[in-house]
């Protein structure tokens, strides 16, 4: 059989087996192994398994993932996300819909290191939803802001999705990190506008909260000072070249741990919980990478990436239309699969096309993160919405989907703008690299 045909069959089988809810990483390994064995030989397939897994697990470049995840988990268990939320509330809580805005801002500020957007939505749902309920926010707005805000952490550095994209495409992780900052702030701003317009039209959705004096506002900032210091230490050290990305994660974790211990914010139980969560998230991410590596070797041998790239080149379509088609694949795919798995699966196929078309790889990385974030909140199957529905048992699924709509509109407008004006994304990385 023609290798490309085998590759196509492999992809179809892969998608079918996905729907049995077998972990995505296992499916990629299995289909990749069977396909590779079929195209090369049974012995070569078996060898591929042990070599690929050991290589991924022992790669120094990938040690950055457990380090940054650990930093995020320590920060979360030391209550930093709660304090960020509190501080954001002091500043915007007195406006209509202010708590929803505070949720979105806290999501961005926390820069969610959890590795997966659904996990971030889950984190913010446990922190933000009870607060918003207390202030009589309608479930649409409160659950919608949590489900949508969860995705913002993927853009704000340090973002695990961007780390993985950087490793897969051999782009500078530092450059990707800085590239994410302005789009993240821009989207946060658009979300705030969406909340403002929504609450202006439906005032009962988000009633105004307590008013604070400027003194109280600034005092609340002092509680999050250490977050800023750790962020500056990690990012500063990374950009000035004092340490590598992995070292930045290690030093960041140690710094958060030190601050939390000095301020007596982290219990032994919290510390152990951070370790367990880190093990689980890192393993989830790394097993996905290992599975994608095995599957990628199968795809390479089937010559699909090469054939698709040359087929697209012969299409004679304007570059912009091709990018839009790729975006559509991410949008639809993002509805079903976690952003990280989707990116790992599709990068070997789409990345060469984007390079051929002359687009900037850093810009493309930011855009696909944005588009997959749209997917995770789009009806009927947005994964983040299901996560929030799982935590907030008293809120109906349809209510959350309704609540997500204003954010989805803001996200679409923002993404179109960022596609049309790549300078917003590329200005900071070009300035620094």
Positions touching another protein (CB under 8 A) are 17-26, 29-30, 33, 46-47, 49-51, 53-54, 57-60, 62-63, 66-67, 70, 116, 242-243, 246-247, 249-251, 253-254, 257, 272, 275-276, 278-284, 286-288, 336-338, 340-341, 381
Instruction: Give 73 or 142: the residue with its C-beta nearer to another protein.
Output: 73
Instruction: Give 242 or 421: the residue with its C-beta nearer to another protein.
Output: 242
Least distance (Å) between residue 341 CB and another protein? 5
Instruction: Give 278 or 415: the residue with its C-beta nearer to another protein.
Output: 278
Least distance (Å) between residue 266 CB and another protein? 13
Least distance (Å) between residue 27 CB and another protein? 9
Least distance (Å) between residue 80 CB and another protein? 17
Distance CA 417, CA 413 (A): 6
Instruction: Give 51 or 136: the residue with its C-beta nearer to another protein.
Output: 51
Instruction: Give 25 or 129: the residue with its C-beta nearer to another protein.
Output: 25
Instruction: Give 118 or 348: the residue with its C-beta nearer to another protein.
Output: 118
Distance CA 223, CA 219 (A): 7
* Contact present, 426 and 363 (Cβ < 8 Å): yes
Distance CA 300, CA 208 (A): 56
Least distance (Å) between residue 326 CB and another protein? 21
Distance CA 219, CA 268 (A): 28
Q: What is the DSSP string of 170-196?
A: T--HHHHHHHHHHHHHHHHHHHHHHHH
Instruction: Give 185 or 381: the residue with its C-beta nearer to another protein.
Output: 381
* Contact present, 365 and 416 (Cβ < 8 Å): no
Instruction: Give 2 or 20: the residue with its C-beta nearer to another protein.
Output: 20
Least distance (Å) between residue 381 CB and another protein? 6
**What number of CA atoms fall less than 13 Å from residue 245's CA on the CB side?**
26
CA 184 to chain centre: 11
Least distance (Å) between residue 305 CB and another protein? 23
The residue to which tokens 């900037």 are assigned: 360
Least distance (Å) between residue 272 CB and another protein? 8
Instruction: Give 203 or 390: the residue with its C-beta nearer to another protein.
Output: 390
Instruction: Give 181 or 235: the residue with its C-beta nearer to another protein.
Output: 235
Instruction: Give 241 or 358: the residue with its C-beta nearer to another protein.
Output: 241
Q: Reduce the secondary structure of 195-238 to three states and give it as a string.
A: HHHHHHHCHHHCCCCCCCCHHHHHHHHHCCHHHHHHHHHHHHHH
Least distance (Å) between residue 43 CB and another protein? 10
Phi (first) and psi of residue 170, to 5 degrees: 55, 40
Angle at 231 between CA 234 and CA 282, to 5 degrees: 70
Angle at 292 between CA 274 and CA 113, to 5 degrees: 25
Distance CA 428, CA 15 (A): 38
Least distance (Å) between residue 294 CB and another protein? 10
Least distance (Å) between residue 280 CB and another protein? 4
Distance CA 124, CA 160 (A): 17
Closest CA to 129 of 101, 111, 103: 103
* Contact present, 426 and 159 (Cβ < 8 Å): no
Contacts 24+ apart (CB under 8 A), 14-19: 14/295, 18/336, 18/337
As to burial, measured by CB atoms within 10 angstroms (0-12 exposed, 13-18 middle, 19+ buried), residue 233 is middle
Whether cis (ω within 30° of 0) applies to the bond prior to 158 is yes
Phi (first) and psi of residue 157, to 5 degrees: -70, 155
């Amino acid at each position: 059989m023609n290798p490309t045909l085998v590759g196509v069959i492999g992809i179809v089988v892969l998608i079918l087996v996905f729907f049995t809810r077998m972990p995505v990483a296992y499916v990629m390994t299995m289909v990749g192994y069977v396909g590779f064995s079929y195209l090369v030989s049974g012995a070569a397939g078996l060898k591929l398994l042990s070599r690929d897994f050991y290589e991924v697990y022992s790669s120094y470049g990938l040690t950055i993932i457990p380090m940054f995840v650990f930093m995020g988990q320590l920060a979360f268990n030391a209550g930093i996300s709660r304090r960020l939320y509190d501080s954001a509330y002091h500043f915007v809580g007195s406006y209509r819909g202010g708590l929803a805005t505070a949720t979105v801002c806290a999501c961005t500020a926390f820069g969610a290191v959890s590795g997966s957007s659904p996990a971030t939505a889950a984190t913010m749902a446990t922190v933000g939803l009870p607060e918003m309920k207390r202030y009589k926010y309608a479930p649409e707005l409160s659950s919608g802001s949590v489900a949508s805000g969860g995705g913002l952490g993927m853009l704000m550095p340090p973002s695990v999705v961007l780390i993985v994209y950087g490793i897969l495409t051999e782009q500078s992780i530092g450059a990707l990190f800085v590239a994410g900052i302005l789009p993240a702030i821009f989207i946060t701003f658009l979300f705030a506008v969406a909340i403002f317009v929504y609450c202006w039209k439906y005032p009962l959705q988000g009633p105004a909260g307590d008013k604070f004096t400027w003194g109280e506002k600034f005092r609340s900032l002092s509680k999050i000072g250490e977050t800023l210091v750790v962020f500056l230490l990690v990012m500063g050290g990374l950009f000035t070249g004092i340490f590598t990305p992995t070292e930045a994660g290690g030093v960041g974790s140690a710094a958060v741990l030190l601050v939390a211990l000095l301020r007596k914010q982290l219990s032994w139980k919290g510390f152990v919980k951070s370790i367990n969560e880190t093990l689980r998230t890192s393993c989830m991410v790394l097993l996905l990478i290992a599975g994608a590596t095995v599957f990628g070797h199968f795809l390479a041998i089937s010559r699909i990436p090469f054939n698709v790239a040359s087929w697209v080149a012969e299409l004679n379509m304007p570059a912009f239309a091709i990018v839009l088609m790729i975006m559509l694949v991410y949008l639809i795919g993002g509805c079903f699969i976690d952003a990280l798995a989707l990116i790992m699966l599709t990068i070997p196929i789409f990345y060469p096309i984007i390079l051929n078309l002359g687009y900037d790889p850093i810009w493309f990385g930011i855009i696909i993160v944005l588009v997959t974030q749209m997917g995770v909140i789009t009806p009927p199957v947005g994964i983040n919405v299901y996560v929030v529905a799982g935590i907030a048992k008293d809120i109906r699924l349809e209510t959350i989907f309704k609540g997500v709509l204003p954010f989805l509109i803001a996200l679409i407008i923002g993404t179109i703008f960022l596609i049309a004006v790549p300078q917003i994304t590329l200005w900071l990385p070009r300035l620094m690299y």
